[in-house]
Amino acid sequence: MAELEVRNLTKRFGKTVAVDDLSFSVEAGRVTGFLGPNGAGKTTTMRALLGLVRPSEGEALVEGQRPVAMKEPLRTVGAALEATAFHPSRSGRNHLGVLAASAGIPRSRVEEVLEMVELSGAANRRVKGYSLGMRQRLALAAALLGDPRILILDEPANGLDPQGMRWLRDLLRDQAAAGRTVLVSSHLLSEVAQTAEQLVVIRNGRLVAEASLDEFTTGPASQMRVRASDPERLATALQGKGAGIDRDGDGALLVRDLNGEEIGDLALASGVAIYELAPLHSSLEERFLEVTGEEPVG
């Protein structure tokens, strides 16, 4: 059973369809990156998994249950949704204290998580005076408070400095290595690429890819670069087998939809010598733009 499962989830706000028949699942023990351009429906999906938003259709399940049925919510799922959701005149320590009280978590755990996110020094200051990075850390501390089996983090890297980013990556990796489930959203692929093993990519509320990072980068749209003695004859033969052909400036063929073996066999059969045959992996960024059809953001 997947720890998190989204099944045919549709969410409409008035006439706007934020999430459209979306299905995917998230397994324990690895970091899953949840990607998509801004406005793709990531936050709404995460909120549905947390029981904050009611699905119009379909369901969002946590450990096989609807989120409102969770026995000990904070010990099951920890979430950091946005770095601005604090009462500005409450201190960081008290924010966590309020949350701890409602879940019956001991006060000592508040100090522990403050230590973990390196906010102990500023814990008595009112959140009003926190930088974005500090708020982000406080949101993470709140997520970690119940020592949960599942972490759901919405754009947790926003506002973190490079040192903070590294700290976050280590944290996510450690959590996943400890067998926990980690779902991290981002609109920046590069951020997620360094920690995520699994990717869920959505666009306009629909799933466009659910794959491991490796599968994603070497996905079906990747090409083979072929230099041959008679490119035109080879191209005709390849097209006859249904391959898509592009040409680069040097007279080499860029072949889609056939693998190296098939190209080699065809070349032999049509009497063309092959000088060079190399797989071209798209970069992660290219793949992301390819599947989401968007300009990079940020």
Partner 1 sequence: MRLVRSELLKLRTVRTTWTMLGIGLLAEALFAGLYVGLVSLDDVGPIDEVLTGTGLLMLMLLVLGVLAITTEFRHGTASTTFLAEPRRYPVMAAKLAAVLLMGVVAGLAYVVVNGGLALPLFESREGSLPASGDIVSVYAGVVASFALLGTFGLGVGAIVRNQVGAIIAAFAFFFVLSSLPELLPGDIGDYFPAQAVGSLHGLPEEGLSQVMGGLVLAGWSLGLVLVGTLLIRHRDLNE
Binding site for partner 1 (CB under 8 A): 13, 44, 47, 50-54, 67-68, 70, 73-74, 77, 79, 81-82, 84-91, 94, 97-99, 101-104, 142
- Considering the complex, what minimum distance in angstroms separates the CB of residue 67 from partner 1? 5
Distance separating alpha carbons of residues 228 and 237, to the nearest angstrom: 13
Q: Which residues pair with 225 in a beta bridge?
A: 254, 278
Residue (30 or 47) nearer to partner 1, CB:
47
Nearest to 28 by CA among 65, 77, 80, 68: 77
Residue (28 or 138) nearer to partner 1, CB:
138
Output 259-263 pairs: Cβ under 8 A, ≥24 positions apart.
259/224, 260/224, 263/224, 263/226, 263/238
Residue (53 or 267) nearer to partner 1, CB:
53
- Considering the complex, what minimum distance in angstroms separates the CB of residue 81 from partner 1? 6
Distance separating alpha carbons of residues 165 and 258, to the nearest angstrom: 40
Question: Which DSSP letter does residue 283 get?
Answer: P
Please report which helix (H) or strand (E) contains residue 163, including its range: helix 162-177
- Considering the complex, what minimum distance in angstroms separates the CB of residue 151 from partner 1? 12
- Considering the complex, what minimum distance in angstroms separates the CB of residue 298 from partner 1? 22
Residue (76 or 270) nearer to partner 1, CB:
76
Residue (89 or 108) nearer to partner 1, CB:
89
- Considering the complex, what minimum distance in angstroms separates the CB of residue 41 from partner 1? 12
